[in-house]
Amino acid sequence: MNPTDEQTAAADAFHAGDHLVVQAGAGTGKTTTLALLARTTTRRGRYLAYNRAIAQDARTRFPNTVQCKTAHAFAYAAIGHRYTRRLNAPRRPAWQTGQALGITKHLRIGDREISQRAQSNSVLRTVTRFCHTADETITPHHVPPLRGLDDPDLHTELAAHLVPFARKAWTDLQHPDDGAVRFDHDHYLKIWALTRPRIDTDFLLLDEAQDTNPVVEQIFLSQRDHAQLVMVGDSAQAIYHWRGAKDIMTGFDGTHLTLSQSFRFGPDLAHEANRWLHLADAPIRLTGTPALRTELGPVTQPDAVLCRTNVGAMAHVMTLMAMGYRVALAGGGDSLQALALAARDLKEGRRTHHPELLLFPCWGDLEDYAAHDPAGRDLQPLVNLIDTHGPDAILTALARLTPEQHAQVTVSTAHKAKGREWLRVLIADDFARSNDSVTDEQTGMKRPPDPVGDAEARLAYVAVTRTRQRLDLGGLSWIHHHPDGTPPV
């Protein structure tokens, strides 16, 4: 492939020794560009991949002067191998771990009773959240919020109780041979990061930089004094802020370049993508490949249905199965199975240990919370799904899922679809919103519909750029009638 002018500019800046940021839009060949840079030098490099599958693919595309691994793989080679015995230890229930740490009593905060099991679960989640940060020690802000305990003062009281146990758990994890807490891969990555490691390389490449969690950011940026840093990604695809990821591209001190020519789709789809890039205030606009005729219009037999939420995905799975399709669910159904099992427990009068629902004593309590508490409104689709179909029907549908290679249609959330593409894509109706004018309660005046937020625009941009042949905007069609929906030429 002949490099584009943008790829040539990136190669020139790389050879000049600049620290680089490359904003690469959807389908613009970012990994191909990084491999191009690596093949034009004899220097030694390292490539930090977002996940194992990307690392394996990169090894086939990069020269042998570049070592392609995930951050976890680099950490394992440096420190993680010392903890092999603990990594292979048998699983144990969270309540047993909590008991070993000294959590032996129920806790009452406000009108909620927090069981020993719920406390143990929260302590382990606190340690996990700490491992994803660049922080030196565990503090109250690492304690995850609990549904039904939404008042900030109550959360502060909870955190004050749990932090000492979380610190005790972290101390336990430092022992390489044995301990009470189950040791996993995030633990040795954090232990390695706290040593301020020096990666011996001439240049360091970071892929998917818009979704870097702070612990990997810290490792990457600390190599600046001795290695050339090159990060590539798409700030408009930064859709994992909710789980601690951070876009480190826009504020990076280096030469900023772009890849805007998409090789995935044609001009019509690029125009639709630019509508959302404008709304996300992204630093890039896309150009489609004229030879590719990517159409926008109805799709009756999609290869993929993209949903906004897991619950929306489950609803589509059940609808498609009822129509006789063989259906795959991207990423599998483990998280939905856990929610369905938790719902069944609550409906049968048992408490659940699911971290989202563990403070609710029964299903009716959860229904009331979802219907009337502003903090619980995002649970309403789950409640509706369970009340409509019942947990057993959902569990049966999950057991009938087909592997993707044998499915007629794949259902996915937009989050799980990132980095993937299909020929024909349908956007699900759980992306829909109303464009109706709203009456202001104080003034009685009509006001326009709510503006499109950055996070909403970024997720929509990811969804609409997964197709190569035909896109049915479906649940995102409202944008064509929204006051913000026309991008400037």
Q: What is the pLDDT of residues 79-90, one digit of tens each?
A: 999 999 998 787
351 with 148: CB under 8 angstroms? no
3-class state of residue 45 by DSSP: strand
pLDDT digits over 188-238, tens only? Answer: 999 999 999 999 999 999 988 888 889 999 999 999 999 999 999 999 998
Strands 107-109 and 112-114: antiparallel
- Residue 299 near residue 426, CB atoms below 8 Å: yes
Write the DSSP string, 310-359: HHHHHHHHHHHHHTT--EEETT-SHHHHHHHHHHHHHHTT-----TTTTT
Alpha-carbon span 398 to 411, nearest angstrom? 12
- CA-closest candidate to residue 194, choices 133, 140, 128: 133
Give pLDDT, residue 440.
66
Model pLDDT, residue 487:
64
Q: What is the pLDDT of residue 254?
A: 93
Q: How many CB atoms lie within 10 A of CB 171?
A: 12
- Say what the pLDDT of residue 450 is: 83
Residue 247: predicted pLDDT: 78
Phi-psi region of 110 (alpha: psi -120 to 50; beta: other; left: phi over 0): left
pLDDT score for 180: 92
Low-confidence ranges of the chain (pLDDT < 70): 1, 242-244, 435-441, 487-489
N-to-C CA span, the chain: 30
Percentage of the chain with pLDDT > 90?
69
Query: Would you say the pTM of this structure is higher than 0.85?
Result: yes
Q: How far apart are CA 456 and CA 450, in angstroms?
A: 12
pLDDT at 489: 55
Residue 90, pLDDT score: 78
The dihedral built from the CA positions of residue 392, 428, 25 and 246, taken in this order, carries a sign that is negative
